[in-house]
Structures are given as C-alpha cells and as structure tokens.
Amino acid sequence: MLRNNDAGFGWVTIVLHWTIAILIFVLLALGFTMRRLPIDPSLQFSLYQWHKSLGFTVLALAAIRALWHGLELRPRPPQGLTAIERRAAGATHVALIALALAVPFAGWAVASTSTLNIPSFYFNWFVIPHLPMAKSAPAEDLWTLVHMTLAYLLLGFVALHALAALYHHVVRHDDVLVRMLQTGPRRRLPSQAADTDPLIVGRKRQ
Ligand code: HEM
Ligand code: HEM
C-alpha cells in the first residue's frame, strides 16, 4: 500500500517520515559537533560539507513531504482523543513540516551570505548556487542565529512529538506508533475493540 487510507499511513508517508527524522537527528548532531566541539579544522571543514549536503537533501524531501501532506488523505485520528488533543497533534505536525523546510532554508541563507563565499558542493557531484543575497558579516550572523534558533526549536518539537507517540503506545495502548511503522491491516489491540462496533464507528465519523 503506497498511499494513506482511512486506517493508516502508506509507504510513501512512512518512508518520507523516517528518512527525514533520521536525517534531522544526524544534522543536529553534526551541526553541534562542527560548531561547538574542539575538533581538527580539516575534520571541521568536511563536517560542514556533509552538513550542507545532507541539509539540502532534507530541504528537497521536506518540500515533497509538505506537498504530500497537503494532498494526501489523513488517516482517522486515534479514538478517545478530545478535540483539543486532535488540534494539538495537527498543529505539531504542521509546525514540524514547516520547520523541516525553514531550518535548511535558513542554513542555505547562512552559506549564501557568508563573506568566505565557500561553494556548497552537493556530495562532490555539483555545486548548489548561493541564494541571491548580499554577503556581509552582520547578515551571516543574523542568519546563523535564525538557523540555530529554529534548529533547536525543531529539536524541542520533535522531542514533544516523540514523547506523545510513546505515550500513545505505552500508556494508551493504541496503534498510533505502530501505524507509522507498518502499512496494511493493523494489529487489533484490546483498547480498539470498539472499532468493530458499527454504532461506535458510525458515531466516530460524524
Ligand atoms: C534540517 C536541516 C538542518 C538542521 C537540523 C541543521 C542544524 C544545525 C545545527 C544544530 C547547527 C549548529 C548550531 C549551533 O549550535 O551553533 C547548524 C549550523 C550550521 N548549519 Fe545547519 N542544519 C540544517 C541544514 C543546513 C543547510 C541546508 C545548510 C546550508 C546549505 C546548513 C548550514 C549550516 C552552517 C553554515 C552552520 C554553521 C553556522 C556558523 O558556523 O556560523 N545547515 N545547523
Ligand atoms: C523519534 C522520532 C519520531 C517519532 C517516534 C515519531 C512518531 C510519529 C508517529 C507515531 C506518527 C503518527 C501519528 C498518527 O498516527 O497520527 C507521526 C506522524 C508525523 N510525524 Fe513523526 N515521529 C518522529 C520524528 C518526526 C520528525 C523529526 C518529524 C519532522 C520533522 C516528524 C513529523 C511528523 C509528521 C508531519 C507527522 C504527520 C504524518 C505525516 O504527514 O507525515 N516526526 N510521527
């Protein structure tokens, strides 16, 4: 099953979700290491190149993801959520999608405004042009601050989001986490027995 349906996510959503999630963790660790830890300058230079290449990959995947999220059917929310919880989950998803675009975009602005004017090689295959922005130390400092702030804000949202997923799995025993790991017919958990009751299912869909 490639596409989402009412009961769960398809492979396109699942693969995009976990690929972007893993890349974001790697990028946060790389960014922190190259900028904050005392490392050899030549290692630092190559970490910057890896950081930029992987960051551009996230930017491209996040753009596809944003379109996909807008166009695809959303699976029905897990049962038993209040309207506020549903809205909070939806708002967190939108914030995550927006930040996964804004953070690499701000990183691209850092590289573009830097007075060092170092080209951004995409994995040594080709050069990604700088954005048409004036190069100056104040502009670079500003975009570095924006990039860093948004990156750690993204980390905060991811932590909240991952804790919520764990809470669903461990405390509420619903299939929220499982349906982001597999497609197809879902394992029916005891707490979902109501799903088989047509009256309750009918009420839930109103
Ligand atoms: C989702 C994608 C990205 C994440 C999560 C991310 C995260 C980070 C983090 C955590 C730092 C270190 C902040 C600090 O503690 O000072 C950093 C620095 C940096 N990032 Fe990214 N980044 C991403 C994408 C990009 C992209 C696409 C580029 C450029 C094309 C980029 C360029 C940079 C640069 C140049 C710095 C160092 C700034 C400086 O030394 O002044 N990043 N990034
Ligand atoms: C350890 C990390 C993560 C865990 C455990 C996790 C878990 C989940 C789970 C269980 C869902 C399904 C929610 C539902 O059934 O309604 C979900 C959806 C979602 N997650 Fe994550 N997630 C993680 C990281 C991330 C990251 C890094 C991002 C984005 C930057 C992200 C963005 C989203 C979005 C946008 C959705 C809504 C479905 C979609 O359109 O893709 N997640 N996540």
Q: What is the mean pLDDT of residues 42-51?
A: 96
Confidence of residue 175 (pLDDT cuts 50, 70, 90): confident
Asked which of 33-47, 66-80, 124-138 is least confident by mean pLDDT, the reply is 66-80
Q: How far is the CA of 144 from the centre of ligand 1 (A)?
A: 8
Min mean pLDDT across 20-29, 93-102, 136-145, 169-178 is at 169-178
pLDDT of residue 206: 33
Contacts of 175 (CB under 8 A, 6+ apart): 8, 78, 186, 187, 189, 192
Q: How many angstroms does the Cα of residue 106 sit away from the middle of ligand 2?
A: 22
Are 71 and 12 within 8 A, CB to CB?
Answer: no
* pLDDT, position 184: 66
pLDDT of residue 79: 81
| Domains of the chain, residue spans | 11-204
In the structure, what pLDDT confidence band is assigned to residue 201 with cuts at 50, 70 and 90?
A: very low
| For ligand 2, atom 37: residue with the closest CA | 93
Q: Does domain 11-204 have CATH number 2.60.120?
A: no
Determine the Cα–Cα distance for residues 170 and 91; give it in Å rounded to an integer: 23
What is each CA distance from 175 to 168, 169, 170, in whole angstroms?
8, 7, 10
Contact 58, 104 (CB under 8 A): yes
- Mean pLDDT over each residue of the chain, to the nearest integer: 89
Report residue 190's pLDDT band, with 50, 70 and 90 as the boundaries: very low
| Nearest ligand to the C-alpha atom of residue 11 | 2
Can you give the length of the chain in residues? Answer: 206
Ligand 2 pocket, residues with Cβ under 6 angstroms: 13, 17, 20-21, 24, 69, 93, 96-97, 100, 158, 161-162, 165, 176-177, 179-180
The arithmetic mean of pLDDT across residues 131-153, rounded, is: 97
Is the separation of the CB atoms in 24 and 158 below 8 Å? yes
From the list 83, 97, 79, the residue with the least C-alpha distance to 168 is 79
